[in-house]
Amino acid sequence: MKKGFANFINKYRRLLPLSATIILFVIAYAVSAIYLPGMRDIQVFLNLLNQTPYLLVAVIGETLVVLSGGIDLSVAGIVPLVTTASAFLIQTGWNPWATMLLMIVIGTAMGAIMGYFITYMKVQPFIATLAGLFIGRGLAYFISNNSISINNRTYELLSRTKILIPGLSDVVAQKGPYITPSVVFGMIVFAIAIYISLYTRFGRTVYAIGGKNGANEQSAKLMGLPVNRTKMLVYTINGFCSALSGILLSIYTGSGHGMYGTGLEMTVIAAVVIGGTALTGGEGYVFGAIFGTLITILIQTIIQIQGTLISWWTLIVIGLITLFFIGMQSFFSNLKIGDTVLDIANRRRRNRKLIFGASAIAITVLMVFLAVKFLGTNETEEKCVLKSFRQDQAETLVEEGAVIVYERNGGAKCIDELFGIFPDGRIVADNGTQTIEKQLSASEVENLVNYIVELNWFTDTMYSTSHLPCGVCYHYFTSVNYNGELKTVEAVDGGTDAPSEYWAMTGRLHTLLPKFEQ
């Protein structure tokens, strides 16, 4: 029986982490659908896909790097650089397609440079790509310290176009479940990456040089495989993927900022591991990248919708799942068949260490939960108690002629900010203790209102949603007054059932609103 189990594990060992990832995603989504009714809507699932293209593309590139036995942190530098540079160039009048092409060239070049240092100058991947991270993010802040809005028709079309799902949508009425063009781009890259990794000489070489702490790389060299060229290409491809990820993120947010991508390098690596790829390299599948990405986004979404946990629990849960998959990979690798006394002794010794490590993790998790439950007396005191919304004041602003009234309530500092935007460009803002004003041009306000209207504000596709916000999340009310028609939409951070166009609106709005002194 034991021998048969070992034979089964040895035969399908490479598929087990990927299978576990798929099963985990299905179970997690099914359980969340049971307790959160909004998760049962097909559009909610599609919204998960609509949020993931930029992360999926970054995870695909990182997966190839990890399979080769390397690691790349530069994604968190290239992404903000691409978003900020794109926004700046488009703002100065560049053609959007030329801008995207230039960003791809820059990202690919950065990947090639880091690959050269790693391959031919023997710099450790961690150090070389960490330098790339710092350089990319530093250049992003050099371009601008603030968010730069992208006001471009091409970007708006790519962001707002809906691709209706055949059989589930009403094509005539233009309503029903949909995905965005970014999802299509992401899936095309995904399919190409799978083909390259499984059916090309380059892909087979990537697998050959990864694993066994560099020993496989030496073996591949002795076999005459193009190791150096492959390593160069792996980091170059990841630079390309990071640049494409930045472009997709800028399309999704409609802006660029040096803060974008903060911590992205860790999220990407965690998604790679959760997707079933071994950090030692040589084992795993690019196919797992999409499930690692979806699990990462799903965890974040569930915690935000649940409403009683602070957002930091997202990192805790992702960290625990990552440790689980690392431990699982180590466990299955120790189940290789070995009949010698030395093999058996080594396997038993490694299993004892693995059991000890798993026990330590379980005890740590238990202690954290107990500490939160019995010692976290300050959590209730520090948790934001939402202030009463001031929709009566919002109505007064509309009566005075405001075309947009925006209220943001909650957050880590428990704020309640109310903004009124008037046709002449005047913005009046009040947070209960301060009153400030900002002057825009009338054309800027007109463009903003037209942009919001084109987001289908006055149709059924822009609807209100609400749930108990997490301790650091915001609750919003937005009213738009256009051609005698007034509509107010309510939303909360993390609401997967909220229209994606609503967040496109807030992203555009925040680039124009005045900031209160904290």
3-class secondary structure per residue, 414-453: CEEEEEEECCCCEEEEECCCCEEEEECCHHHHHHHHHHHH
For residues 96 and 90, what is the distance between their CA atoms, to the nearest angstrom?
A: 6
The confidence score (pLDDT) of residue 269 equals: 94
pLDDT tens digits, one per residue of 78-126: 999 999 999 999 989 999 999 999 999 999 999 999 999 999 999 999 9
Residues 6+ apart with CB under 8 A from 164: 170, 171, 174, 176, 177, 178
State in words which class domain 2-369 has.
Answer: mainly alpha
Residue 334 has pLDDT above 80, yes or no: no
Q: CA 407, CA 476: separation in Å to the nearest integer?
A: 6
Give the confidence band of 312 by pLDDT, cuts at 50, 70, 90: low
Q: What are phi and psi of 221, to 5 degrees?
A: -65, -40
Q: What's the distance, CA 328 to chain centroid?
A: 25
Alpha carbon distance 410, 415 (integer Å): 5
333 pLDDT band, cuts 50/70/90, is: low
> Distance between CA 236 and CA 231 in Å, rounded?
9
**pLDDT band at residue 167 under the 50/70/90 scheme:** confident
**Element of type H or E holding 256:** strand 255-256
Strands of the sheet with 404-410, listed across from one edge: 435-439, 426-430, 415-421, 404-410, 474-482, 485-492
Distance CA 331, CA 325 (A): 10
Mean pLDDT of all residues in 225-248: 96
Instruction: Reduce the DSSP state of residue 484 to 3 states and report it.
Output: coil
pLDDT at res. 510: 76
Dihedral over Cα of 271, 277, 278, 279: its sign: negative
Task: Determine the distance from the C-alpha atom of residue 449 to the mean position of all C-alpha atoms in its chain, rounded to a whole number.
Answer: 29
- What pLDDT digit, counting tens, does each position of 6-48 carry? 555 555 667 778 888 899 899 989 988 887 776 777 877 888 8
Specify the higher pLDDT residue, 465 or 341: 465
CB-hemisphere CA count at 13 Å for 278?
23
Burial grade of 143 (CB within 10 A; 0-12, 13-18, 19 or more): middle
303, 299, 295: which is closest to 470 by C-alpha? 303
**Window from 3-7, 82-86, 406-410 with minimum mean pLDDT:** 3-7
Answer for the pair 92, 239: CB distance below 8 angstroms, yes or no.
no
Where does residue 199 rank: exposed (0-12), middle (13-18), buried (19+ CB within 10 A)? exposed
Q: What residues have CB less than 8 Å from 343, skipping those under 6 apart? A: none
Who contacts 494 (Cβ-Cβ below 8 Å, separation ≥6)? 300, 301, 303, 304, 305, 469, 470, 473
Q: Rounded to an integer, what distance in angstroms lies between the CA atom of residue 331 and that of residue 116?
A: 35
Weakest mean pLDDT among 327-336, 386-395, 417-426? 327-336
User: What mean pLDDT is predicted for residues 201-206?
Assistant: 94
- Which of 37-51, 339-353, 438-452, 492-506 is predicted least confidently? 339-353
CA distance 286 to 66: 10
Please state, rounded to an integer, the average pLDDT across all residues of the chain. 83
Decide which of 62 and 51 is more confident: 62
Residue 237: in which H helix or E strand, if any? helix 227-253
pLDDT of 381 > 50? The answer is no
Per-domain boundaries in the chain: 2-369, 391-510
pLDDT for residue 133 is more than 80: yes
Of 77-81, 107-111, 255-259, 331-335, give the lowest mean pLDDT range: 331-335
**Structure confidence at residue 373 (pLDDT):** 55
Q: Any residues with CB less than 8 A from the CB of 405 and at least 6 apart, and which?
A: 394, 397, 398, 418, 419, 420, 421, 477, 478, 479, 481
Domain 391-510 has CATH 2.40.30.110: no
DSSP labels, 283-297: ---TTHHHHHHHHHH
Does 355 have pLDDT greater than 80?
Answer: no
Residue 377: its pLDDT value, please?
43
316 or 287, which is more confident = 287
Model confidence at 340: pLDDT above 80: no
Q: How confident is the model at residue 327 (pLDDT cuts 50, 70, 90)?
A: confident
Decide if pLDDT at 450 tops 90.
no
What does the alpha-carbon distance between residue 99 and residue 196 come to, in Å, rounded to a whole number?
A: 27
Answer yes or no: is pLDDT of 517 > 80: no
Per-residue confidence band for 378, with pLDDT thresholds at 50, 70 and 90: very low
**Cα separation, 103 vs 239, whole angstroms:** 10
* Contact (CB, 8 A) for 385 and 412: no
Does 329 score more than 50 pLDDT?
A: yes
* Cβ density class 235-249: b for 16+ within 10 Å, e for less: bbbbbbbbbbbbbbb
3-state SS assignment for residue 482: strand
253/155 Cα distance (integer angstroms) = 10
Cα-Cα-Cα-Cα torsion 419, 422, 426, 431, nearest 10 degrees, comes to: -10
The pTM assigned to this predicted structure is: 0.74
Q: Identify the CA nearest to 259 among candidates 101, 98, 410, 138.
A: 138
C-alpha 21/C-alpha 420 separation (Å) is: 47
Highest mean pLDDT among 49-58, 93-102, 254-263, 336-345: 93-102
